């Protein structure tokens, strides 16, 4: 009798385990299908636009970046579409690439890492409402919407107007270009390339910050 009871318990446990595994597989597959659902574009004439990063902390607080169909980078270098000033950020910290079911973020072997929802990632597709964080600079990703002025486009327009030589001011900027020179063993051409600017623009920056060793 005891043997039969023990056998019944074992069968019940085995059935429960099988059902649990089946439930996990079914719910995971459903979640994956939902996350990979193709993007449906808004109706013609709609003000809704795809792929936004909305600044929610640090140097990007209150700034909104429309990524759209662009592949862009985030980092301290002034060649980035999303330029941040957090000292923990690398010059080209990560890359953002639109995909059919979200926005892929790929860390660029950064020193301090790229965080999505408080987890360090190498590559991950952002879903609506996810938080992207680099140092103290934080963004909320929105798959679509209209969040007003595009800070990325505004800065690019300013870059074109001033030749990228006077976009940033102050000690942080001076340290950044000085570090670029040191890391490239004084090679102006290489330092300029690391910041995503021309040699002429970099030399103008050096002169403005008193780092050109002239006069």
| Confidence band of 37 (pLDDT split at 50, 70, 90) | very low
State the pTM of this model: 0.55
Strand order from edge to edge, sheet including 82-83? 82-83, 72-75, 94-99, 102-107, 123-126
End-to-end CA, the chain: 102
pLDDT at 31: 41
Number of Cβ atoms within 10 Å of the Cβ of 38: 7
Residue 168: band (very low, low, confident or very high) from pLDDT cuts 50, 70, 90: very low
Looking at residues 103-110, what average pLDDT do you find?
Answer: 96
Q: Is the Cβ–Cβ distance between 113 and 83 less than 8 Å?
A: no
Per-chain mean pLDDT for the chain: 75
Residue 201 has pLDDT above 80, yes or no: yes
Contact 206, 192 (CB under 8 A): no
Is domain 49-156 in CATH 2.10.50.10, yes or no? no
Task: Give the residue with greater pLDDT, 19 vs 190.
Answer: 190
Q: Identify the residue with better confidence: 180 or 39.
A: 180
Cα dihedral sign, 68-176-140-147: negative
Q: What is the secondary structure of the chain as a DSSP string?
A: -HHHHHHHHHHHHHHHHHHHHHHHHHHHHHHHHHHTPPP-PPPTT---EEEEEEEEEGGGTT-EEE-TT--EEEESSTTSSEE---TTS-TT-EEEEEETTEEEEEE-S-SS-EEETTEEESEEEE-TT-EEEETTEEEEEEEEE--SS-HHHHHHHHHHHHTTSSSS-SHHHHHHHHHHHHHTTT-HHHHHHHTTS-HHHHHHHHHHTT-S---
How far apart are the C-alpha atoms of 67 and 83, rounded to whole Å?
13
Counting beta carbons within 10 angstroms of the beta carbon of residue 162, is it exposed (0 to 12), middle (13 to 18) or buried (19 or more)?
exposed
């Amino acid at each position: 009798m005891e043997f039969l009871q023990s056998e019944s318990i074992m069968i019940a446990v085995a059935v429960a385990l099988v059902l649990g595994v089946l439930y996990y597989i079914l719910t995971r597959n459903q979640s994956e299908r939902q996350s990979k659902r193709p993007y449906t574009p808004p109706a013609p004439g709609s003000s809704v636009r795809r792929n936004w990063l909305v600044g929610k902390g640090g140097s990007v607080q209150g700034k909104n970046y429309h990524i759209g169909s662009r592949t862009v980078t985030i980092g301290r270098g002034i060649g980035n579409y999303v330029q941040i000033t957090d000292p923990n950020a690398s010059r080209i910290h990560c890359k953002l690439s639109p995909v059919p079911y979200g926005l892929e973020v790929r860390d660029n072997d950064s020193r301090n890492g790229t965080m999505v929802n408080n987890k360090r990632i190498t590559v991950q597709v952002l879903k609506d409402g996810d938080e992207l964080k680099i140092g103290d600079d934080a963004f909320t990703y929105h798959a679509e919407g209209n969040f007003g002025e595009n800070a990325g486009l505004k800065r690019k327009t300013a870059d074109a107007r001033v030749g990228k030589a006077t976009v940033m001011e102050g000690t942080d900027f001076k340290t950044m270009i000085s570090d670029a020179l040191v890391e490239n063993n004084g090679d102006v051409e290489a330092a300029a390339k690391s910041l995503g600017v021309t040699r002429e623009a970099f030399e103008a920056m050096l002169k403005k910050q008193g780092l050109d060793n002239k006069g």
